[in-house]
Amino acid sequence: MFAGAFGSGKSEIAVNYAIECAQQNRAAVLADLDLANPYFVSRDTAKVLEQNHVKLLAPDNAMAYGDVPNLPPGIIGILRQNFNTVVDLAGDKAGSLVLGYLARFIDPQQFRIYLVINPYRPFSWDIEEIRDLKTMLESYARHLISGIISNPHLVEATDFEVIEQGHLRVEYIAAQLGVPVTQLTVTDGFHEQARLRFGEMVKKIDLYLRPSWM
């Protein structure tokens, strides 16, 4: 599961991970459970996911962007069958409630929650706000956060200094929370330089949710 505050990039990372699983010939399912936020959600990449043989589970069209939580049909059955399921989860109270409901259907041995942080976004710089989110997710899930994914960028204003300083901030936050940073995600143009600086933890991602006007 990938969770994070608005603008963290969790949906982009979830889509990338699901496509990577499919490319490795692993049965991949992406469950879009970001049920309150209508912007930059993984269900907007339905055609790309289909082309890459990823099964998408998302709310019915009539409620896809509603404020009332509406679980995708079949999600519980998929979780019970231990498919390789990637979950895009809102990092707020609504997401925590959904997480708490679904946690009982997930094999504890397969249960992983990753907190995605872009320190340049609101609610992602202050340690106490992130700590509160971590505590809320863990409380509802009855499961500890497995790791933090560092995703520092300023969209078109991103340069390597932005990535480097942002990642160092995420590492500091993670140390304060006692949670390991498992990945640093960057786009292709920064991948080689980031690998030289930060090593094997660097992960290249493609941008599937960027609108054409950005």
Q: What DSSP string runs through 73-107?
A: TTHHHHHHTT-EEEEEEESSHHHHHHHHHHGGGS-
Q: Is the pLDDT of residue 68 over 60?
A: no
pLDDT per residue as tens digits for the range 77-103: 888 876 678 999 888 888 888 889 888
Rounded mean pLDDT of 35-46?
71
Whole-number Å distance between alpha carbons of 170 and 71: 31
Q: How confident is the model at residue 71 (pLDDT cuts 50, 70, 90)?
A: confident
The whole-model pTM stands at 0.89
Rounded mean pLDDT of 109-120?
93
59-73, 172-186, 188-202: least confidently modelled range = 59-73
Distances (CA, A) of 19 to 6, 13, 24, 108, 179: 22, 10, 9, 24, 26
What per-residue confidence (pLDDT) applies to 36? 61
**Between residues 166 and 67, the one the model is more confident about:** 166
Q: Is the pLDDT of residue 176 over 90?
A: yes
Residue-range domains of the chain with CATH: 2-204 (3.40.50.300)
Whole-number Å distance between alpha carbons of 170 and 163: 10
Rounded mean pLDDT of 155-173?
96
Q: How confident is the model at residue 37 (pLDDT cuts 50, 70, 90)?
A: low
Q: Is the pLDDT of residue 213 over 60?
A: no
